[in-house]
Amino acid sequence: MGELTDKVAVITGASRGIGAAIAQELASAGIRLVLTARRQDRLESLAAALPGNPAILAADITDANTAERLLALATERFGRADILINNAGILRVGPLETFDLAAIREMTATNFEAPVYAAYVFARAMKAAGSGSIVNISSIGAHLTAATVGVYGGLKRALEIFSDSLRIELAGSGVRVGLVAPGTTATEIFSDMKANGQPGWDEYVTPLQPADIARAVRYLLEQPAHANVARMHVYASADAH
């Protein structure tokens, strides 16, 4: 994509953590933004702190019509959507005996179904326009096999397989697909673990910061049109995985 000024990016899970950092990084590059998350107050606060008067949509990314609403908002406000960042995600872990089975459906809807659905919706529009970039936020957990985290890791692995498949399908269309897989990052994703009396993974190492992941996303987007960085893993320096 190369030059980013005046491109239009849609970011899911944008109100906090990695999503908010991506919004700040891309806004600094001159990209116009459409931001979505569930909490209106957080979106308004973030948008007010960014240049370019971002558009916001408070919505549940797992709702069937949210992706179409985001594309319509980007088109109405800015004329198109050049970039989709599928960032929204949740983490639920626990041992066999106490794992909340309802979390299986919750994680599947948020971490896999929603980004896949949005990718299809935006990829169709981008292919018709002849250009665009989709970046899916995965996790190094997609390539780790450990007790208590099988659902989360499995869904992230599925997202990576889907991302590769879509990238291959769109080869030559002008639409690029890539993913960024963060290691342990200091965000609210560990809040559920801590609320249940478990230490968050960010307590074991000096974690990455959301801005580290945002810079990786920008790097993918800044590549020239003939180059597609398919995947980037970003580890905390002290992470032994």
Task: Look up tokens 């096999």; give the residue.
Answer: 145
Tell me, yes or no, if 204 is annotated catalytic: no
The angle at the Cα of 13, spanning 3 to 116, to the nearest 5 degrees, equals 80
Residue 123 tokens read as 């990829």
Q: Select which of 120, 152, 219, 235 is catalytic.
A: 152
Active site amino acids: 152
